[in-house]
Amino acid sequence: MSQHPMHEANRRGWDAVSAGWQAEIDARVDWRSIPDNIHLVLDAVELKYLGEVSGRSVCVLGSGDNLAAFALAGAGARVTSVDISQTQLDIAAGRAGELGLSIRFLQADVTDLHELPDDHFDIVYTGGHVAVWVSDLQRYYGEGIRILKHGGLFMVNEYHPFRRLWKLDAGPLKQEYHYFDHGPFTYDRSEELPEGAGPSGTQGRQGPPSPLPSYEFHWTVSDMIRALIESGCELLAVEEYGDGNQDWEGGAPLEKMPANLVLVGRKKRV
Ligand SMILES: C[S@@+](CC[C@H](N)C(=O)[O-])C[C@H]1O[C@@H](n2cnc3c(N)ncnc32)[C@H](O)[C@@H]1O
């Protein structure tokens, strides 16, 4: 359970869609090949700043498909994987077992990591569409940086905020959102479930699935940089990369716009 009602609704949504969503990821990449090939998941830009991860303690926040967790553990890091959805974590834990990876899985809201101690990890890594689910960016990054050792690395790799503004269909590009409107933007995730699915994506009663309201938040580039700095990091780098289309973007002509925004911070030494 999350204390935040919108996060709690999002948790229910993720628990319900998790199996189908992981199947979509599986169609794109084979999770079994990840531990031996970190480059399948982490970009050269990220690896440049992460450096050698073997033997280092890493916490992945909003771990989702856990591909980043598998890649980092495969490279020898001691990984803690945090997600609000127990269903996502259960799938990942089963896969980690098959891969022989020792990863700690923790169900928690990224805005409340009280089960993790202060000043503990060498690296905190987060991103790939996590901030969009979180109502309070300052608390999210604040918690991520609290659990980081002084001098440790905080890395965010998010879908670029400029990319979130557009209507996701083919044809001429149309702006749908105001850049400075944070939301929340509400929609019903039960549309992602098959007919007759129960609350966890299992077979239930016949008919349309019951509603699964979900809440998204749009953060700007400066929101992200400010939250990182105000949480006690110095900003080491800002990078942008990726200019192709992504298959879930509905054919919108978003090529030539950056897909990823990477922020790298170092927690200030005392
Ligand atoms: C789109 S996935 C992105 C994660 C990963 N990078 C990936 O590509 O799979 C979003 C993940 O964030 C998790 N999430 C959403 N809100 C969260 C919160 N408040 N705290 C922790 N995890 C959250 C969801 O359960 C989901 O697994």
pLDDT category, 3, cuts 50, 70, 90? confident
H/E segment holding residue 159? strand 148-159
Q: What is the mean pLDDT of residues 195-208?
A: 56
C-beta of residue 22 within 8 angstroms of C-beta of residue 91:
yes
- Ligand 1: atom nearest CA of 14 is 25
| Structure tokens that stand for 270 in this block | 């005392």
Three-class SS state of 201: coil
Cα separation, 18 vs 198, whole angstroms = 13
Does residue 248 sit in helix, strand or coil? helix
- Average pLDDT rounded to a whole number, residues 18-29: 93
Ligand 1 pocket test, pick from 28, 82, 84, 143 with the greatest ligand atom count within 8 Å of Cβ, gives 84
| Mean pLDDT of the chain, nearest integer | 94
Three-state helix/strand/coil letters over 47-86:
HHHHCCCCCCEEEEECCCCCHHHHHHHHCCCEEEEEECCH
**Is the per-residue pLDDT at 199 higher than 80?**
no
pLDDT digits (tens, 9 = 90+) for 84-140: 999 999 999 999 999 999 999 999 999 999 999 999 999 999 999 999 999 999 999
The tokens for 204 are 């239930």
Band (pLDDT 50/70/90 cuts) for residue 2 is confident
**What residue owns the CA closest to ligand 1's atom 20?**
109
* DSSP tag of 30: -
Which strand (E) or helix (H) includes residue 7? Answer: helix 5-28
- Residues with CB under 6 Å of ligand 1 are 7, 10, 14, 62, 64-65, 83-85, 88, 109-110, 128-130, 133-134
Determine the angle formed by the axes of helices 5-28 and 86-99, rounding to 10 degrees: 40
Provide the residue ranges of all domains of the chain, joining segments of one domain with +: 5-160+219-267
What's this model's pTM, rounded to 2 decimal places?
0.95
pLDDT band at 208 (very low <50, low <70, confident <90, very high): low
Across residues 256-264, what is the average pLDDT?
Answer: 96
pLDDT at 196: 60
Closest by CA to 83, choosing from 168, 21, 150, is 21
Q: What is the pLDDT of residues 144-167, one digit of tens each?
A: 999 999 999 999 999 999 999 999
Residue 203 has pLDDT above 90, yes or no: no
Share of the chain above pLDDT 70, in %: 95
- CA 129 – ligand 1 centroid, Å: 7
Return the pLDDT at 84: 98
Ligand 1 nearest-atom number relative to CA 88: 27
Give the per-residue pLDDT at 198. 55
Can you identify the CATH homologous superfamily of domain 5-160+219-267? Vaccinia Virus protein VP39 (3.40.50.150)
* Cis bond upstream, residue 184 (ω within 30): yes
d(CA 230, CA 176): 30
pLDDT band at 201 (very low <50, low <70, confident <90, very high): very low
CA dihedral sign, ordered 195, 197, 203, 207: negative
What's the CA-to-centroid distance between 172 and ligand 1, angstroms? Answer: 31
Residue 38 · residue 47 · CB < 8 Å? yes
Question: What ligand 1 atom has the least distance to the C-alpha of 64?
Answer: 27
| CA 38 to centroid of ligand 1, rounded, Å | 20
Which of ligand 1's atoms lies nearest the C-alpha of 110? Answer: 20
